[in-house]
Amino acid sequence: MEGKTVKLLFLSEEEMIKAGVLDMPTCLETMEKVFTLVGKGDYLMGGKSLNSHGIKIHFPKESPFPGMPVAGPDRRFMAMVAYLGGEFHVCGEKWYGSNIINPTRGLPRSVLVVVLNDPDTCAPFAFMSANLISAMRTGAMPGLGAKFLARKDAKSIGIIGAGVISRGSLLSLVEACKTATDVKVYDLFPEKSAAFCAEMSTLTGRNVHPVASLEEAVVGSDVVNLAAAGANPPHIKGEWLKPGSLLSLPAGGVLDEGFLAKGADKVVIDCWEMHKTFFEEGEVPVDAPTALTSRYLFKHLEKGEMTEEQITSLGDVVVGKKPGRTNDSERIVYIQGGMPVEDLAWGLTVYKKAVEMGIGTELKLWDSAHWM
């Protein structure tokens, strides 16, 4: 049999931008399609559970060999693999390394790439810069949640953390909450808040302004979004959250003990099966303040303070298996952990647009494989 040529398209960050990777309305629409498939079960992720977030390299606290990296805050390598069905029908992987000191080197904290593969031949067909894929799909998830979980007349948004993920989150939240005109921003570093507000006021057309404290950002806000990194995540007190508010958590945060069991009226999570796998694999240490906020749920379940029936997966809401917001007084907490199916869907969408536009660099693995 004559061998077949295998080619793939390489897309740089600049080419991804030309192809629309920063198009939040389309990204938000794509994420809703993703969670329609997740709600139906038409997806696969890694591990025996088929719901593993990814495989991470765990560095030792002390290096036994010269040059071996050691553990540090947000220092990791991770491979996130998945298959997504429906109109996407694609396999692939997001591969990345992350080191919190990277910005001092002129680099983003995380450096990411996405590889897309044909599910049948298994051959790769795209290799792309993925920092913006990841930031946009992560940022789209608060907006997708808000579409189903926020009050329809939401007026005020509180943003905690003035980083990359908060930029994407705010872009999606103003898409989902059309009536929201006031955006309060808090960051530990006032200069970051000021730069964020200047940029996002222009991009959103909303009154985006800094506030002096975490409490001020939360109190009175209809939607609060926390996306802050670091060894000491912010503590959101339950008493600050007004009736009818939505607390969106695309990053880990600290809550009052018992709040999810007794203070919140509803707890929604992006994919409960994935978080259970996190816990079973030891990736959600229940006593670590930097861990995913779902750590509180496992504490409550262990103590018998909650049942799994009280935890709603977003996919079930999107497909109508379970209700989202049912009244204007519910205080809802919405926890996100990030799923590789999101990266595949947004990567594939942008790839298709790049092909239409004729941009990217074609790379060839071979004309005919040397050994078959």
Q: Where residue 122 falls among pLDDT bands split at 50, 70, 90?
A: very high
Is residue 247 pLDDT above 70, yes or no? yes
> Hey, how many other C-beta atoms are within 10 angstroms of the C-beta on 67?
5
Q: Where residue 287 falls among pLDDT bands split at 50, 70, 90?
A: low
Q: Which pLDDT belongs to residue 202?
A: 96
Count of domains for the chain = 2
Q: Are 328 and 194 in the same domain?
A: yes
In a domain, 292, yes or no: yes
In a domain, 162, yes or no: yes
Chain segment 305-321, per-residue pLDDT in tens: 999 999 999 999 999 99
Q: Where residue 336 falls among pLDDT bands split at 50, 70, 90?
A: very high
Q: Which pLDDT belongs to residue 290?
A: 62
Is residue 60 pLDDT above 70, yes or no? yes
Chain segment 92-102, per-residue pLDDT in tens: 999 999 988 89
Rounded to whole angstroms, the Cα distance separating 141 from 259 reads 23
Q: Which pLDDT belongs to residue 221?
A: 98
Q: Are 349 and 334 in the same domain?
A: no
Asked whether the beta carbons of 114 and 347 are under 8 A apart, the reply is yes
In a domain, 156, yes or no: yes
Q: Are 164 and 42 in the same domain?
A: no
Region 106-113: mean pLDDT is 93
Chain segment 179-215, per-residue pLDDT in tens: 999 999 999 999 999 999 999 999 999 999 999 999 9
Q: Are 265 and 292 in the same domain?
A: yes
Q: Are 114 and 243 in the same domain?
A: no
Q: Which pLDDT belongs to residue 74?
A: 76
Is the sign of the CA dihedral 141, 144, 150, 151 positive or negative?
Answer: positive
Is residue 82 pLDDT above 90, yes or no? yes
Q: Are 219 and 254 in the same domain?
A: yes
DSSP state of 312: E
Region 223-232: mean pLDDT is 86
Is residue 59 pLDDT above 70, yes or no? yes
In a domain, 372, yes or no: no
The residue segments making up the domain with residue 224 are 140-338
Q: Where residue 1 falls among pLDDT bands split at 50, 70, 90?
A: low
**Residue 66 identity:** P
Residue closest to 109 by CA, chosen among 68, 165, 40, 62:
165
Residue found by looking up tokens 């591990």 in the block: 47
Q: Are 295 and 171 in the same domain?
A: yes
In a domain, 371, yes or no: no
Chain segment 253-284, per-residue pLDDT in tens: 899 999 999 999 999 999 999 999 988 887 66
Q: Which pLDDT belongs to residue 256?
A: 95
Q: Are 260 and 360 in the same domain?
A: no
pTM (two decimals): 0.94
Buried b (16+ CB within 10 A) or exposed e, 327-358: eeebbbbbbbbbbbbbbbbbbbbbbebbeeee
Q: Which pLDDT belongs to residue 143?
A: 98
Mean pLDDT of the chain: 94
In a domain, 1, yes or no: no
Element (H, E) at 112: strand 110-117
Q: Which pLDDT belongs to residue 286?
A: 65
CATH of the domain at 250: 3.40.50.720
82 phi and psi angles, rounded to 5 deg: -165, 165
Q: Are 253 and 357 in the same domain?
A: no
Highest mean pLDDT among 1-15, 27-41, 59-73 belongs to: 27-41
Q: Where residue 289 falls among pLDDT bands split at 50, 70, 90?
A: low
In a domain, 28, yes or no: yes
Q: Which pLDDT belongs to residue 210?
A: 98
CATH of the domain at 121: 3.30.1780.10
Residue closest to 31 by CA, chosen among 176, 241, 224:
176
How far, in whole angstroms, is CA 109 from its chain's centroid?
A: 15
Region 83-110: mean pLDDT is 94
More confident residue, 3 or 339: 339
Q: Which pLDDT belongs to residue 288?
A: 63
Q: Are 174 and 47 in the same domain?
A: no
Buried b (16+ CB within 10 A) or exposed e, 212-229: eebeebbbbbbbbbbbbb
Q: Are 147 and 104 in the same domain?
A: no
Residue found by looking up tokens 């969106």 in the block: 248
Q: Are 224 and 294 in the same domain?
A: yes
Rounded to whole angstroms, the Cα distance separating 324 from 154 reads 15
Rounded to whole angstroms, the Cα distance separating 253 from 354 reads 37
